[in-house]
Amino acid sequence: MGFLDTLFGRTKPVQPKLDDLFALPSAALQLEAATGFKPTGSGSVSFRAPEGKPFADIQKEVLELLDMDNDKPDGGLPVEVTKDSYGYTWLVSNHMSDEMGTLVTDLHAVNTALVDGGFGPQLLCTLVAFSDDNHRRLSLVYLYKRGTFYPFAPLGSGNNRDNALELQVKGVLGDELRIEPDLTRWFPVWGAPGL
Amino acid sequence: MAARTRYAPDRGLTVRMTATMFLLGLVFVAFVALIIGIMTAAHASGAAIILVAVIFGGGSAFISLFYSDKIALAAAGARVVSPEQEPRLHGIVDRLCALADMDKPRIAISPARMPNAFATGRNSEHSVLCVTEGLLYHSQLTDEELEGILAHELSHVAHKDVQVMTYASLLAIVAGLLVRFAFYSELFGGARRSGGNNSQAALLIPLIMLASIVVYAISFLLIRLLSRYRELAADRSGALLTQNPSALINALYKVSEGMNGIPTQDLRAAEPLNAFYFAPAMKMSLTRGRSGGGGGKSLSAIFSTHPSLEKRVEQLNKIQLELGQPGPDPRGLK
């Protein structure tokens, strides 16, 4: 925030950074080679739905856009919309596990539609899910406002996370992705849809 | 790629805030000029008094700014809570901070029954956001309403309101100290002056006292005005962050009703924190005497650290309209 913004008590809405998402497919390969974690094929975009009609319209457009490819015979499952207990909306896109590129394109389509509608500041994070042969779960969370990723690995059913695994992933992907350096921003997304 | 933004800044508020700060600066300059003028006219060496007042006043202001988080937490009897203790509260703040791209403040809970919240700290690394148990457990706020309040408090942190208000109050603190010093030197210095060899100095002390009283009164009113504008600015930024002004309106109604309804704990204990609270914890006695006459209400509005509920709701209704939805009558929602 600039000096004048402080003086006048203004906050500028923060615009999201979108392009770093495209680093995900190659990072997924690296992750699988190093740790055995494979993409589950599902990914989600989380955003804060503003009250009012303009946003409802955009959301409808986005859904129609994403569901269009699903008319194709080999199309995946339809896009799911869920609202979590914190009041954030999640669009979950499901693909086959080897379709990381398509998944990212889908997620990017959602982002672009929201940004074009002027709702960029509402984007919270995007989440891509992975799992390994022991059914351990891992997700890479992309923070739109920072343009950084961080790993989130929930453990069991309680609110525990596997910090060792998360730090291991941080080391593995350090060259592929911009990992969020500030660990206090690695906030947990318990029970996130698509995880 | 120019990002589109749907929200115009509130120019009116910016202009009013600028005018207030300009006036504060003007009073400051006038005060310094006046003191220097009086001193030169009297050929007196009362500079020591003023220097002491500036050092004391400035020193205490900076210490209270530097330790504002610790002082406020101690005064509120609050304890910092970890994400494990309060996952819900931390979860809401985590998400708001990610949306706004700001550092996460520490989270504290104060045992007060009054539903309220405040944020303080000299900068974002030392900021702390405190909510009362009354707000968390006894106020029947929904999560969205609680989120609205937290977004308001986070906006205070983002706007560096503790720093701004401390700098704004500096002058009033120094002027207040001068009044006191001048008063005491008048009391105790009277005997010394009866010698009569320094009639100019006899005039000097009351003059400084008078000037300080006037400056104190004016800057006090300006600071209160500035504080009200900062509250409106925080309401606005908070509502734009959550995109849910309706929830904040509801929260305001619920919290204000709770404030009036619940027999409060020791009000005097709550007073020093007042400027940073979500809703003012202490009602000025003028507010209570509203039935006394038509002037009561406008007077209390001048002295208040927070804008009236009507003003705050009015502004939020405007934001609702910007978001493309007519404002519901909040009273009808209950």
ipTM: 0.83
Whether A191 has its CB under 8 Å from any CB of chain B: the answer is no
The mean pLDDT of chain A is 83
* Digit-coded pLDDT (tens) for A126-164: 999 998 888 888 999 999 988 899 999 988 777 788 889
Size (chain B), residues: 334
Beta bridge partner(s), residue B110: B132
User: Using the beta-carbon criterion (under 8 Å), do A86 and B14 form an inter-chain contact?
Assistant: no
Q: How far is B66 from chain A (nearest CA, A)?
A: 18
Residue holding tokens 């949306």?
A: B99
User: Using the beta-carbon criterion (under 8 Å), do A6 and B164 form an inter-chain contact?
Assistant: yes
Contacts of A59 in chain B (CB under 8 A): none
Contacts of A188 in chain B (CB under 8 A): 83, 91, 94
Element (H, E) at A157: none
CB-CB: which of A116, A146, A159 is closest to B87? A159
A11 neighbors B158 (Cβ within 8 angstroms): yes
The span from the first CA to the last CA of chain B, in angstroms, equals 44
Provide CB contacts within 8 A for B169, sequence distance 6+: B61, B219, B223
Between CA B75 and CA B120 the distance in angstroms is 12
Contacts of A86 in chain B (CB under 8 A): 91-92, 95, 143, 147
Between CA A79 and CA A60 the distance in angstroms is 12
Q: How far is B213 from chain A (nearest CA, A)?
A: 27
Provide CB contacts within 8 A for A11, sequence distance 6+: A1, A5, B100, B155, B158, B159, B237, B240, B241
pLDDT per residue as tens, chain B (334 positions): 334 444 556 777 888 888 888 888 888 888 878 877 777 766 655 667 777 778 888 888 888 888 888 888 888 888 999 988 988 899 999 999 988 888 899 999 999 888 889 888 888 788 999 999 988 887 788 888 999 999 999 998 888 888 888 888 887 888 778 777 777 766 665 545 444 445 666 677 777 778 888 888 888 888 888 888 889 989 998 998 888 888 999 888 888 775 554 444 455 555 555 555 666 554 433 333 333 333 344 556 677 778 888 888 888 888 888 776 443 443 333 3
Between CA B334 and CA B330 the distance in angstroms is 7
Whether A143 has its CB under 8 Å from any CB of chain B: the answer is yes
pTM score above 0.90: no
Between CA B130 and CA B81 the distance in angstroms is 10
The sign of the CA dihedral B37, B43, B48, B49 is: negative
pLDDT at B284: 37
